[in-house]
Chains A and B, each alone.
Chain A
Amino acid sequence: MRWLRRNLVVIFGLGTLAYMILPNVVVTVFSFNNPTGRFNYAWQEFSLDAWKDPCGVADMCGSLSLSLQIALWATVVATALGTAIAFALVRYRFRARGAVNSLIFLPMAMPEIVMAASLLALFLNMGIQLGFWTILIAHIMFCLSFVVAAVKARVLSMDPRLEEAARDLYAGPVQTFVRVTLPIAAPGIAAGALLSFALSFDDFIITNFNSGNTVTFPMFVWGSAQRGTPVQINVIGTAMFVIAVLVVLAGQMVGNRRKKTQHQ
C-alpha cells in the first residue's frame, strides 16, 4: 500500500501516457490488417500487402506529396517572416509595439474555425479561385504567430552582452548577426520551423474551408472516413510516427552532445 501511495504520480502519469499512445498502437497494428470490407475498423487477418504497396491507393500519395510541399513552403515563408517580427519586437522600441503584440496573439486566441470561415468569406467576396495558393496563404497566416512566439522566447533569454562583445571586437553588424546572433537564436528558429511544419502538414479545419477541390493528405483521410478507409492510411500513419520519433530523438542526441562538448 505504501509503495502504491508513493508511486501514485508515476502510475497516473504512465496511465495518461498509455491513453496518448494507444491510438498509435492501434494504427500500427491495423496497418497489418487485411480487412474484408471497405472499412478498416475490425481485425480480420495478418497481411503485409499494404506495406508492400503503400501507394497502391488512387490519389493517396499525390495528396501526401501535396501536403509535404505546402508544409515546406509554409514553413519557409512563415519562419522568415516570423523571425523578423520576433527580432523587431524584442530588440527595438517603437510605436505600435503593443498593437503588433496583440495582432500576433489574436490568431492563437481564436478557434481555428473562425479564421477558416473568415478567410473563406474573403476569398468568396474577391472571387479568388480556391486551391493550392489559398491553402498556402492560410497556412502561412496561422503558422506565423507560432513562429513569432517560439523565436521571441529564445531571443528574450539571450544575453545582449555577447553581441556587444562581438561589436567591441570590431565585428560589423552583418558579421555580428551571422556569427553571433543567428547561431544563438537558432534553436528557437528551429523550434518555430518544426512547429510550423507539423501544424501545416496536419491542418484540417482551415484547409477544409479553403481548399476547393484540392485534396491534401488530411483531406484525403477525411474523405476516406466516409467512403472507406484503405489500410495504406495506417501504413502512412505508422511511418510518420516512427520517422517523427527518430528525428526528434536524433535532434536531442545532437543537442546533448553539443551541450557536453560546450561544458568541457
Chain B
Amino acid sequence: MTATAAPPRAEAPAEPPVHKASARKRLVPYWLLLPGILWLLVFFVLPMIYQASTSVQTGSLEEGFEVTWHFQTYWDALTEYYPQFLRSLLYAGTATALCLLLGYPLAYLIAFKAGRWRNLLLVLVIAPFFTSFLIRTLAWKTILADGGPVVEVLNTLHVLDVTSWLGMTEGERVLATPLAVVCGLTYNFLPFMILPLYTSLERIDTRLHEAAGDLYARPSTTFRKVTFPLSMPGVVSGTLLTFIPASGDYVNAELLGSTDTRMIGNVIQSQYLRILDYPTAAALSFILMAIVLIMVTVYIRRAGTEDLV
C-alpha cells in the first residue's frame, strides 16, 4: 500500500490563497467562469424554463401550442402513467441494489487484494466505457436468448421457477421479461458503482485493518465496523450515479424488454419523438426530475454526507 510507504503529503490549506489586488485582478475568476457558465445557462437552465412553459401549454402540432397554464396536464400524466413511474423506480432501485452487491466485492478485491494485477483489473472495469454500450446491450440478447445456455442452466437449477413466482420472468423465457431489463440495467451501470467504491476503499489506511485484528476483531467484524463505514462516501456516490441514470433509462427496456416492461423513459421518448404530444412529455419529464431530486436530497440527508460534492 502506498499509504504506508509514501511520506505524508503536505496538506493543502483549506482556504485558497487570498488575492488582494487591483480591481482588474478581482475580476479574474469571473472571466474564467464566464464562457462555461454562460454555456450552462443557455443550454441547461434556459431549456428547463422552455420545458416548464411547454408543460403548461395546450394545442396540437398542426394548430400550434399556446401557454394556457393548463396544470391539468401534470395530473393527467401522473394518473395515466403512474405504473411506468413505479416500474422505473422499482427497476432502477433493484439494479442499484444488485450493483452494490456485485460491485462491492470487486472494488474490495481491486483495492486490497489485487497486488500487481490492480492496474489490469481497473482497465477491465473502465474499458467497456469505450465500446459502445448499445453494442454490448445487444450482446445480452444473444446471451439471454430463448433456449440458450444461460436460460438452460437457470431452468435446470430451478432459478426460473423462483423468478417466475416473483413475477420477474415468464415460463422458460428471460428475454422480454423484467429480469432481462434489470440484468441489462445492472450491467450497464456497474462501472459507475465500482469506481467510486474503489476510490473510497483505496483511501482507507490498511493499518486500521491490522489494528482491528490486533484487538481480536474477526474479519467480518472488521468489515462491519471499520471498512464499510469508511467506504460510505463511495457507497453514497455509487448508488446515486447508478440510480439516477437508471431511473431515466429507456434503452434496456426497449432492447431487452417488452411492452409490459416499459419504463417512464420509454414513455417520454415516444411522447416527444413519435406521438409529438409535447406538453404531456414535458410534464412527465418534470415529474421524473422532481421525484429523483427529492429522493436524492432525502437520501443524501439520511446518509449524512452532505459535503459530498
Could you tell me which A residues sit within 8 Å of B by CB distance? 9-10, 12-17, 19-24, 26-27, 30, 41-42, 81-82, 84-85, 87-88, 90-94, 100-101, 103-107, 109-115, 117-122, 124-125, 137-138, 140-141, 144, 148, 156-161, 164, 198, 201-202, 204-205, 208-209, 217-218, 221-222, 225, 229, 233-234, 236-238, 240-241, 243-245, 248-249, 252
Q: Decide: A13 near B106, CB < 8 A? Known: A91-B16, A113-B265.
A: yes
CB distance A24 to B130 under 8 Å? no
In the bound assembly, the distance between CA atoms of A127 and B261 in angstroms comes to: 34
| B157 in the interface (beta carbon within 8 A) | no
CB distance B119 to A121 under 8 Å? no
CB distance B44 to A115 under 8 Å? yes
Q: Decide: A202 near B129, CB < 8 A? Known: A26-B143, A115-B47, A209-B273.
A: yes
| B229 in the interface (beta carbon within 8 A) | no
| B159 in the interface (beta carbon within 8 A) | no
CB distance A245 to B127 under 8 Å? yes
CB distance from A20 to the nearest CB of B (A): 6
CB distance B142 to A117 under 8 Å? no
Q: Decide: A144 near B36, CB < 8 A? Known: A27-B135, A107-B44.
A: yes
| B275 in the interface (beta carbon within 8 A) | no
Which residues of chain B have C-beta atoms less than 8 A from A201's C-beta?
A: 130, 132
Given A13-B106, A225-B134, A243-B130, 13 other A-B residues pairs in contact with their CB atoms under 8 A: A27-B131, A84-B32, A84-B36, A88-B28, A88-B32, A93-B18, A103-B44, A113-B250, A118-B282, A137-B43, A148-B36, A164-B17, A208-B269
A-B contact pairs, 22 of them (CB 8 A): A13-B106, A13-B109, A13-B110, A16-B103, A16-B105, A84-B35, A87-B32, A88-B29, A94-B29, A101-B309, A113-B248, A113-B269, A114-B288, A114-B289, A117-B272, A118-B50, A141-B44, A198-B129, A225-B138, A241-B128, A248-B123, A248-B126
CB distance A144 to B50 under 8 Å? no
Which residues of chain A have C-beta atoms less than 8 A from B126's C-beta?
A: 244, 248
In the bound assembly, the distance between CA atoms of A93 and B28 in angstroms comes to: 11
CB distance B105 to A117 under 8 Å? no
- The 9 A-B pairs at the shortest CB distance, nearest first, are namely A111-B248, A13-B109, A244-B130, A81-B36, A92-B29, A12-B105, A118-B47, A88-B32, A23-B139
Which residues of chain A have C-beta atoms less than 8 A from B249's C-beta?
A: 111, 113, 205
A100 touches which one: B37, B109, B129, B251 (CB < 8 A)?
B37
| B204 in the interface (beta carbon within 8 A) | no
Closest to A263 in B: B6
CB distance A110 to B105 under 8 Å? no
| B230 in the interface (beta carbon within 8 A) | no
Q: Contact flags (1/0) for B80-105 with A, using CB distance below 8 Å?
A: 00000000000000000000001101
| B145 in the interface (beta carbon within 8 A) | yes
Which residues of chain B have C-beta atoms less than 8 A from A140's C-beta?
A: 39, 43
Which residues of chain B have C-beta atoms less than 8 A from A238's C-beta?
A: 131
Which residues of chain A have C-beta atoms less than 8 A from B123's C-beta?
A: 245, 248-249, 252
A237 touches which one: B18, B102, B135 (CB < 8 A)?
B135
Most chain A CB inside 10 Å of its own CB: which residue of B45, B134, B268, B269 = B134
B130 touches which one: A198, A217, A234 (CB < 8 A)?
A198
CB distance B39 to A81 under 8 Å? yes
In the bound assembly, the distance between CA atoms of A176 and B281 in angstroms comes to: 51
CB distance from A3 to the nearest CB of B (A): 14
Closest to A239 in B: B131
Closest to A164 in B: B17
Q: How many residues on the B side are at the interface (Cβ–Cβ under 8 A)? A: 91
CB distance B309 to A105 under 8 Å? yes
Q: Decide: A85 near B272, CB < 8 A? Known: A234-B135, A241-B128.
A: no
Most chain B CB inside 10 Å of its own CB: which residue of A87, A92, A240 = A92
Which residues of chain A have C-beta atoms less than 8 A from B35's C-beta?
A: 81, 84
Which residues of chain B have C-beta atoms less than 8 A from A85's C-beta?
A: 32-33, 36-37
In the bound assembly, the distance between CA atoms of A241 and B13 in angstroms comes to: 41
| B244 in the interface (beta carbon within 8 A) | yes
Q: Decide: A109 near B110, CB < 8 A? Known: A30-B139, A117-B51, A138-B43.
A: no
CB distance from B186 to the nearest CB of A (A): 8
Which residues of chain B have C-beta atoms less than 8 A from A222's C-beta?
A: 134
Q: Decide: A17 near B124, CB < 8 A? Known: A125-B50, A137-B43, A209-B272.
A: yes
CB distance A9 to B105 under 8 Å? yes
CB distance B142 to A41 under 8 Å? yes
Which residues of chain B have C-beta atoms less than 8 A from A23's C-beta?
A: 128, 136-137, 139-140, 143, 187
A118 touches which one: B48, B106, B145 (CB < 8 A)?
B48
B142 touches which one: A42, A159, A204, A245 (CB < 8 A)?
A42
In the bound assembly, the distance between CA atoms of A205 and B45 in angstroms comes to: 19
Which residues of chain A have C-beta atoms less than 8 A from B231's C-beta?
A: none
Which residues of chain A have C-beta atoms less than 8 A from B105's C-beta?
A: 9, 12-13, 15-16
